[in-house]
Chain A
Amino acid sequence: MEANASGEAALSTMFNAKFEAHRGMAAELEAMRIPDLRVVAGKGEIELYCRDQADVPQMLKDVLIRYVPDVVAQPFTPEATVAALEFAKARGLPVVPRGSGSSPFGGSIPVNGGMVLDAGNLDRVLSVDKDKKLVKVRGGCRWADVDNAASKHGLRLITCPSSRFSTVAGWICGGGYGVGSLGGGHLSQMVTSAKIATDRGVMELRPPQEEFWALFGSEGQLGIVTEVTLRVKDIDVNSKPHLLIFQELDQAVEMAERLRRMDPLPEDLIYFSPGKLKYANRLLHGEHFGQGHALLVTSTNAVSEKAIGDLLRTMGVIEEKEYQARLLAHERYFPMKLRRLGPGMLGAEVLAPMNKLKSILHRAEDLCQEFALDPLLEVHFLQGPDSLLLCYYLTDQVNQSLYTLDAAKSMVVTSSLIGLGARPYSLGVWNNSFADHWPKDEMERLRKAKDKLDPSGIMNPGKYFALKGRMFGGAGMVFSPLGSGTGFRTMAQLHAPLGVLFRSLSTVSSKAMGPRKRDALIDMANQCAMCGACVSVCPAYALTNDERVTARGKLLTAKALAEGKEITREHAHRTFLCMRCKACEQVCQSKLELMTAYEDLEGRLEKVHGKDVAEIERFVRMAEMSPRYEELVARGLVLGAPKNGMGGERDV
Chain B
Amino acid sequence: MYERYHIHVVPTLGRHHPVPKFVVRRADNCINCGKCERACVYGAHKRDTNDLRKMAEPDSTLCKNCFRCVVECPQRALSIKVNDEFRNLGKGVWTPVRVSTMWNEAENAKIPVLGAGYRGNFSGPGYDAMWTDMSEIVRPTRDGIHGREFISTSVDIGRKPPLLRFDENGSLLTQMGPIVDLPVPFLLDVSRISVTDAALKGMAGAAKELGTLMVLPLDSVSKLNGEAPAELLVPLISSVQDLERVPPQARMVEISHSPEWKNVLKELKEKRPGLLVSIRVQPSKELMAAVDDMAREADVLHVLFAESGMDHDGQYARDTMRLLHRHLVKVGLRDGVTVISSGGLAAAEMVPKSIICGSDAVTLETALLVALGCHVCEKCEDCPSDLRSAPEEFVKCRVTNLCSAWRDQMLEMLGAMGIREVRRLRGETGRAIFQEDAHRDAFSDITGGGNVE
Chain A residues within CB distance 8 Å of chain B = 578-583, 613, 616-617, 620, 624, 629, 633-634, 636-637, 642-652
A617 in contact with B52 (CB, 8 Å) = yes
A578→B52 CA distance, assembly (Å): 10
Among B28, B33, B34, which residue has the most Cβ atoms of chain A within 10 A?
B33
Across the two chains, which residue of chain A brings its CB closest to B50? Answer: A613
- With A579-B32, A581-B33, A620-B47 as contacts: A647 and B52 at CB distance below 8 Å: no
B33 in contact with A579 (CB, 8 Å) = yes
Across the two chains, which residue of chain B brings its CB closest to A635? Answer: B74
A616→B32 CA distance, assembly (Å): 14
B76 in contact with A633 (CB, 8 Å) = no
**Which residues of chain B come closer than 8 Å to A651, judged between CB atoms?**
28
**Which residues of chain B come closer than 8 Å to A648, judged between CB atoms?**
27-29
**Which residues of chain B come closer than 8 Å to A620, judged between CB atoms?**
34, 47, 52-53
B31 in contact with A633 (CB, 8 Å) = yes
A647→B53 CA distance, assembly (Å): 23
CB of B347 closer than 8 Å to a CB of A:
no
Contact with A along B20-37 (1 / 0, CB 8 A): 000001111111111100
**Which residues of chain A come closer than 8 Å to B27, judged between CB atoms?**
644-650
B77 in contact with A645 (CB, 8 Å) = yes
B34 in contact with A645 (CB, 8 Å) = no
Looking at chain B's contact residues, the main secondary structure is loop
A643 in contact with B32 (CB, 8 Å) = no
A98→B34 CA distance, assembly (Å): 34
CB of B38 closer than 8 Å to a CB of A:
yes
**Which residues of chain B come closer than 8 Å to A634, judged between CB atoms?**
74
A652→B55 CA distance, assembly (Å): 10
**Which residues of chain A come closer than 8 Å to B47, judged between CB atoms?**
620
Across the two chains, which residue of chain B brings its CB closest to A577? Answer: B53
A582 in contact with B53 (CB, 8 Å) = no
CB of B249 closer than 8 Å to a CB of A:
no
A636→B74 CA distance, assembly (Å): 8
Which single member of B28, B29, B35, B54 contacts A633 (CB below 8 Å)? B35
Which single member of A616, A617, A624, A643 contacts B75 (CB below 8 Å)? A643
A580 in contact with B54 (CB, 8 Å) = yes
B33 in contact with A645 (CB, 8 Å) = no
**Which residues of chain B come closer than 8 Å to A578, judged between CB atoms?**
53
**Which residues of chain B come closer than 8 Å to A580, judged between CB atoms?**
31-32, 51, 53-54
**Which residues of chain B come closer than 8 Å to A633, judged between CB atoms?**
31, 33, 35, 74
A651→B25 CA distance, assembly (Å): 11
CB of B65 closer than 8 Å to a CB of A:
no
A sample of 28 inter-chain contacts (CB < 8 A) reads A580-B31, A580-B32, A580-B53, A580-B54, A581-B32, A581-B33, A582-B31, A583-B31, A616-B53, A624-B33, A624-B34, A624-B38, A629-B33, A633-B31, A633-B35, A634-B74, A636-B74, A637-B31, A642-B29, A643-B75, A645-B27, A645-B28, A645-B29, A645-B79, A646-B27, A648-B27, A649-B28, A650-B77
B31 in contact with A579 (CB, 8 Å) = yes
**Which residues of chain A come closer than 8 Å to B33, judged between CB atoms?**
579, 581, 624, 629, 633
Among B28, B30, B53, B79, which residue has the most Cβ atoms of chain A within 10 A?
B53
51-104 of chain B: CB within 8 A of chain A:
51-54, 57, 74-79
Across the two chains, which residue of chain A brings its CB closest to B27? Answer: A645
**Which residues of chain A come closer than 8 Å to B79, judged between CB atoms?**
645
Shortest Cβ gap from B449 to chain A (Å): 47
Shortest Cβ gap from A326 to chain B (Å): 23
**Which residues of chain A come closer than 8 Å to B76, judged between CB atoms?**
643-645
A616 in contact with B77 (CB, 8 Å) = no
Across the two chains, which residue of chain B brings its CB closest to A629? Answer: B33
**Which residues of chain B come closer than 8 Å to A649, judged between CB atoms?**
25, 27-28
Across the two chains, which residue of chain B brings its CB closest to A586? Answer: B29
A646 in contact with B29 (CB, 8 Å) = yes
Among B35, B52, B78, which residue has the most Cβ atoms of chain A within 10 A?
B52
A624→B53 CA distance, assembly (Å): 11
Shortest Cβ gap from B16 to chain A (Å): 22
A633→B77 CA distance, assembly (Å): 13
**Which residues of chain A come closer than 8 Å to B74, judged between CB atoms?**
633-634, 636, 643
**Which residues of chain B come closer than 8 Å to A645, judged between CB atoms?**
25, 27-29, 75-79
Give 3 closest A-B pairs by Cβ, nearest first. A645-B27, A581-B31, A648-B28
**Which residues of chain B come closer than 8 Å to A650, judged between CB atoms?**
26-28, 30, 77
**Which residues of chain B come closer than 8 Å to A636, judged between CB atoms?**
74
A633→B32 CA distance, assembly (Å): 10
**Which residues of chain B come closer than 8 Å to A644, judged between CB atoms?**
27, 29, 75-77
A613→B53 CA distance, assembly (Å): 10
A637→B29 CA distance, assembly (Å): 11
Shortest Cβ gap from B155 to chain A (Å): 54
Contact with A along B212-251 (1 / 0, CB 8 A): 0000000000000000000000000000000000000000
A634→B33 CA distance, assembly (Å): 10
Shortest Cβ gap from A617 to chain B (Å): 5
B28 in contact with A616 (CB, 8 Å) = no
Shortest Cβ gap from A320 to chain B (Å): 32
Contact with A along B437-452 (1 / 0, CB 8 A): 0000000000000000
**Which residues of chain B come closer than 8 Å to A617, judged between CB atoms?**
52
Shortest Cβ gap from A277 to chain B (Å): 31
Shortest Cβ gap from A499 to chain B (Å): 49
Shortest Cβ gap from B48 to chain A (Å): 9
A643→B33 CA distance, assembly (Å): 14
Across the two chains, which residue of chain A brings its CB closest to B47? Answer: A620
Shortest Cβ gap from A208 to chain B (Å): 47
Q: What would 11 more interface pairs be, CB under 8 Å, given A583-B31, A652-B57?
A: A579-B32, A580-B32, A581-B32, A613-B52, A620-B47, A633-B74, A637-B31, A644-B76, A644-B77, A645-B28, A650-B77
Shortest Cβ gap from A384 to chain B (Å): 44
Across the two chains, which residue of chain B brings its CB closest to A642? Answer: B29
A646→B75 CA distance, assembly (Å): 11
